[in-house]
Every structure is written in C-alpha cells, then in structure tokens.
Amino acid sequence: MKILIIGATGTIGKAVAELLSEKHDIISAGYSDGDVKVDLGNAESIKAMFEQVGEVGAVISTAGLANFAPLAQHSNQDFELALNNKLMGQINLLRIGQEYVTQNGSITLTSGILSRQPMPGSASISMVNGALESFVKAAALELDQLRLNVVAPAFVKETMLMMGMDPSSGISATNTAKVYKIAVNGNMHGETLDVINYL
C-alpha cells in the first residue's frame, strides 16, 4: 500500500517511515525536505501535495507546529501558529485528503499527551491537542469510507536529548512509531491512541 507521511523527516516521522517501509511504499512529505514539499499551514499547498501524489491507502501526519511559552508571554502569533498549523493544518489534511484515500483506507493525525497532562508553558499546544482529539471523535461519526484516528505521543527520548533533558522518562521514537503502525493496521475509528497505553 502507498502511505503518505507528512512530517516524515522529523523525529517521530522518520521512525514511522522506517517501520512502515518494511511492508509499504512510503511517500515522504515535509516543509523543506521529502519526496513532496508541503506547508501544512496553507490549504492550497495541501491540495497541490495531494494532486501531485494521487491516490494512497493511508495518510499519516507527524507534523504540526506550536510553541511552548509562558501564558503571560503567549503572543497572538503563538496562538495563531498552533491554530493554523497544528490544528487546522491537520484538519485540512482530512478535509482535502479524504478524496485521495482509497475505500477503507485511513488517516492518522498527531496530537500529544499535553492535552491531558499539561505543563506550564503548554497552553496553546494543549489547546490544539485537545481540539484535535475532539475533532477526530466527532468527524469519525460522519466518515464511513475511511478510518480517522489521532496518535498522542508522550515526550520522545530523542527530543528530550535535543532539549538537554534527562530522557529516562521519555518514549523512544521507535516505540512511538509502533503506535502509528497499529493505527494503520487496526480497526479503530475516531480514537485517540495514547502512546503510553500501548507500551
């Protein structure tokens, strides 16, 4: 099956692409790198990506930008980035991409554990993660030609290392990728797959 991965060059996306390439043809999409270039924050760019790629069996998004910042310093731009890129960008992947997914295929989006376990500085990230999980639950009620789910990663070890943090409480990108594989191969629809529940 052909699988389009948006964010395939990133920390999580690279591991997802590697795991799924064992059995599937991967088309990687990224902002500055990949088989196809796309700007998740721009619906026209998403349309152009799907026109270029054509029909696929599954779409996975491991992309979505949002900033950490203390609430008092959260700017309009911080909220706009989270809403336009991580939230509406991924919602637009479903709205535009559903025409390009084969019957009984799937679309898997990415939220994050901060929807249910927030921390200081995570206001806009938590906001869009929660919205994505609610959107998927509701939208699935009206989608019978494909399955729609969202994976909620925990803090990834490699990301923690990049941020100079102790990675011992994190989950590796390789283990996180296994949950995307479950979303593609399983029967779930409208669900949030919380990575911490799949270890």
If binding is defined by CB under 6 A, does position 179 make contact with ligand NAP? no
Instruction: Kindly tell me which of 58 and 113 has the beta carbon lying closer to ligand NAP.
Output: 113
If binding is defined by CB under 6 A, does position 32 make contact with ligand NAP? yes
The answer to whether the CB of 93 falls within 8 A of the CB of 50 is no
If binding is defined by CB under 6 A, does position 39 make contact with ligand NAP? yes
Residue 43 has a CB neighbour count (10 Å cut-off) of 17
Going by DSSP bridges, is the β-strand pair 146-152/25-30 parallel, antiparallel, or unpaired? unpaired
DSSP codes joined into one string, 161-195:
HHTT--GGGSB-HHHHHHHHHHHHHS---S-EEEG
Q: Using alpha carbons only, what angle is made at residue 191 by residues 64 and 48, rounded to the nearest 5 degrees?
A: 40
Rounded least distance, CB 158 to ligand NAP, Å: 7
Q: Which of 4, 7, 122, 147 binds ligand NAP (CB under 6 A)?
A: 7
If binding is defined by CB under 6 A, does position 130 make contact with ligand NAP? no
Residue 107 parent element (H or E):
strand 101-110
If binding is defined by CB under 6 A, does position 24 make contact with ligand NAP? no
Rounded least distance, CB 8 to ligand NAP, Å: 6
Instruction: Kindly tell me which of 64 and 142 has the beta carbon lying closer to ligand NAP.
Output: 64
Site for ligand NAP in 141-170 (CB under 6 A): 153, 155-156, 159
CA distances from 19 to 7, 15, 35 (A): 15, 6, 17
Rounded least distance, CB 72 to ligand NAP, Å: 22
Q: Which of 36, 48, 65, 182 binds ligand NAP (CB under 6 A)?
A: 65
If binding is defined by CB under 6 A, does position 11 make contact with ligand NAP? yes
* Coarse DSSP helix, strand, coil percentages of the chain, rounded to the nearest 5 percent: 50, 20, 30
If binding is defined by CB under 6 A, does position 33 make contact with ligand NAP? yes
Distance between CA atoms of residues 89 and 132, nearest Å: 11
Rounded least distance, CB 123 to ligand NAP, Å: 14
If binding is defined by CB under 6 A, does position 35 make contact with ligand NAP? no
The answer to whether the CB of 12 falls within 8 A of the CB of 177 is yes
Q: Which residues bind ligand NAP (CB under 6 A)?
A: 6-13, 30-33, 38-41, 62-65, 85-86, 110, 112-113, 153, 155-156, 159
